[in-house]
Chains A and B, each alone.
Chain A
Amino acid sequence: MSVQNTTTSRRRLALRLPDRSAATERLSKYLLIAFLLALPAAFAISDLVHGGNLQRIGENLTQGLSNGLIWALIAVGYTLVYGIIGLINFAHGNVFMIGSLVTAGMLAALGLSTATGTLGILLGLLATLVVSMIACGALNLMIERVGYQPLREAPPLAALITSVGFFFILQNVGLLWFGSTPRSLPDLIGVEKVVFDVGGVAVHRADLFAIVTTVPVILAVAAFIGRSRLGKAMRATSQDRVAARLMGINVDVTVALAFLLGGLLAGAAGLVYALYETTVWFFQGFQAGLLGFTAAVMGGVGNLWGAVLGGLIIGCIQQISDNRIGSEWTPAIVFAYLIAIMVFRPRGLIGEATREAG
């Protein structure tokens, strides 16, 4: 019997082993939601008791949601690839980082600064967005072609290890390109300017920018996967690769497409992040990658809307932790959430959309 076949049967069986009833499933879901709400709820109550209003937690959540949209873009990249070939594409966080660096490079090349007119900034940003998305999409395609495609039939850990390898290679590319210190960018969008406020909760331009850029991109990808012929092929491949191939779907092209889409999203996320934070750094991909992955897992790996939901939740947790507990503790808190989800509900909030969820 071949290794691959035993792996498959093991996976399927192992997932059936903890035979839980629907009631326990639902209970674990509600417990997870309660667990996720615990942090914002605790601070909301303490705000009410001490300050008498919910202004601060409201701002935390607004910024958390807009920040979370960036993580959502990254998380969708993880989830697309995982859904189709069952690989955690570890390098993805640093593809995003390269997107930010490309953005910084483009802004410098175009000579955009705060003195440029609004139309100039808009057109420049649009051009930068296109370049950054294409660069990251091509990069992700190349990584797939060099590192993962030859290992399609190899043991599952092999591709994971090459992805770790690419993670470090890209990080070093970033280090060589931009040096070891964070570089600040011109504040083109006026990050701190308040656009409007709702009941004392200010919505800044950065928040609006993140929403205006990321939401259409996410909707476009969702429509592509849901409506188009290629998207249908992607969904078929993620359900059953052999059956898809028998139906005449070119599996290699479909897998490459998932990487291309993931890369395009990472490029967009890189641009939004660069303008939102107004600094870029070769090391930013590490935390972003882990946050994005946590978001994907939280929603249920392989599930597009789950990844978006996970991204928004992670954004809020991160923002609250940064603002209230201290940013030096944020990684530990996010990872503690990740471990808790893994232990109590490995399928995530919405559930895996792959056949392995069985």
Chain B
Amino acid sequence: MTALAGSLVRGLAHPTAAVRRGLTIAAIAAAVLAPLLFDPASGWLDNAVVALAYVIMALGLNVVVGFAGLLDLGYVAFFALGALSVGWFMSSFYADANVHVLVAGNIGHLPGVHLNFLLVLVVAAAICALAGVVIGLPTLRLRGDYIAIVTLAFGEIIRVFAVNGRTIHLFGPNAPLTNGDQGITPLDQLQLPGLAAFTPFDLRPWYWLGLALTLLVLFVVTRLRDSRIGRAWVAIREDEVAASSMGVPLVRTKLTAYTIGGAIGGVAGAFLASYLNTVSSDQFALSFSIFVLAMVILGGIGSIRGVVLGAVLLAFVNNRLIPDVLNNVPHSLGLDFDLVSLGFGIFGFLLVIMMVLRPEGLLPDRRHRLELQETETDPATQGAVR
């Protein structure tokens, strides 16, 4: 049984080119057609939309952590900024302003700033790319574990600003920075050509939009990984000094990773916030950064397929398995606690188990796995200094 599963995993990990292409097309076709099988408002579709947002976010974090090897514990900052862009530019939150760009119907008559969602996506990506540079700059000279702490600090600072945003008035007395834990809500209904209205009663347009964004991001990160910059990231991850003496510009390469990872996180944040229809500071806790990191680690750091799998699995565990399936288990065992509140303890457990038993993840990146095997078998390492 284990051998079969092992060979299956190996077969999926090393398919031939033709098989790979066929599998990819089949997977995309299945993903596009899947929602037609479900009721338009079913819980499964709801889970799928959220899972797609997680996939995008995990792919973005994978650029920073997996490709470039810079451990980012504050990735929630980009979710926050992407979500806030939606709150700022796609709602009646700034009721004094009256800006409408490419919006139709009754949204065109509401007060506030109302931009088309695609424009907001661009704005969110731009804001987050800039934030990526700001977060990246102080970490350039630091060692791996210090980078983790500085990014964590940035994530917390942005959360504190989101929590206290109601008392910050940069653009006039009626224009606070955020709405704190009350949330900016409601957000504009999305209007995109070719898709039906985005309502809570028909989730298919949401799903297809999320799928389109996911495929776009998948395309971008795959091409990036195989490009000059992708090789430069790997070189830096493996050995910074060797990379820089081979002519890889350290500063620019690292900042590019932060910028691209941030922009992808912003897109995911904008999409998820508009789907959840609220932008509240409660969403931006440190645990969310860890949650996304867990997806990347579970799937396999640096491996695109692995990260997609990790994100889908954790979305399933978090939104379906724990609340719906397992939640009654403690009660039926006669124990009195709520399993939902243990979500992050379970993730913590997962992280520990994963690292101790299978540090390379479920579908590991080939290069990462080679490294780990080398570490295990190379006799020179046995007594090596860290």
Contact = CB atoms under 8 A, between A and B. Distances in A.
Contact of B145 (A88, A152, A290, A336): A88
Interface SS of chain B = helix
A357 to B, nearest CB: 12
Given A155-B359, A176-B342, A14 B241 contact: yes
A180 interface: yes
A87 B144 CA distance: 10
B239 interface: yes
Interface in B336-365: 337, 341-342, 344-345, 347-352, 355-356, 359
A339 B155 CA distance: 12
Contacts of A154: 355, 359, 372, 375
Contacts of B347: 165, 168
B249 interface: no
Given A241-B385, A328-B164, A150 B356 contact: yes
Given A10-B241, A147-B356, A153-B381, 4 more contacts: A335-B154, A335-B156, A338-B149, A346-B146
A146 B157 contact: no
Interface in B258-274: none
Given A167-B348, A332-B156, A332-B157, A160 B386 contact: no
Which has the most chain B C-beta neighbours within 10 Å: A14, A151, A245? A14
Nearest to B297: A161
A5 B73 CA distance: 26
Nearest to B381: A2
A119 interface: no
B141 interface: yes
Contacts of A8: 384-386
B359 A158 contact: yes
Contact of B337 (A85, A152, A176, A343): A176
Contacts of B149: 88, 293, 297, 338, 342
B209 interface: no
Nearest to A338: B153
B352 A169 contact: yes
A165 B355 contact: yes
Interface of A: 1-11, 13-14, 17-18, 85-88, 146-147, 150-162, 164-169, 171-173, 175-176, 180, 240-242, 245, 286, 290, 293, 297, 328-329, 331-332, 335-336, 338-339, 342-343, 346
Nearest to A175: B341
A329 B143 CA distance: 28
A95 B103 CA distance: 53
A4 B384 contact: yes
Nearest to B368: A155
B288 to A, nearest CB: 12
B198 interface: no
Interface in B116-151: 138-139, 141-146, 148-150
Given A161-B297, A162-B356, A172-B342, A241 B141 contact: no
* Complex A-B, nearest 5 residue pairs according to Cβ-Cβ distance, in ascending order: A172-B345, A168-B348, A165-B351, A335-B153, A4-B384
Contacts of A10: 239-242
B316 interface: no
A32 B362 CA distance: 45
Contacts of A2: 374-375, 378, 380-381, 384
A18 B138 contact: no
A162 B386 contact: no
Interface in B306-325: none
B287 interface: yes
A235 B105 CA distance: 72
B359 A342 contact: no
B356 A7 contact: no
Contacts of A173: 345
A343 B381 contact: no
B138 A241 contact: no
Contact of A153 (B152, B163, B241, B384): B384
Interface residues of B, number: 58
B385 A169 contact: no
B238 interface: yes
A259 B47 CA distance: 42
A13 B240 CA distance: 10
A285 to B, nearest CB: 12
Nearest to A356: B143
B143 to A, nearest CB: 7
Contacts of B297: 161
B290 interface: yes
Name which of B240, B286, B290, B352 has the most chain A CB atoms within 10 A of its CB: B352
B384 A158 contact: no
B375 A153 contact: yes
A167 B289 CA distance: 14
B383 A245 contact: yes
A291 to B, nearest CB: 12
A329 B145 contact: no
B96 interface: no
Contact of A164 (B143, B242, B351, B381): B351
B386 A172 contact: no
Given A10-B240, A14-B241, A328-B163, A4 B381 contact: yes
Contact of A6 (B150, B239, B342): B239
Contact of B157 (A166, A297, A336, A343): A336
A342 B344 CA distance: 29
A241 B386 contact: yes
A329 B351 contact: no
B371 interface: yes
A156 B348 contact: no
B161 interface: yes
Contacts of A153: 375, 381-382, 384, 386
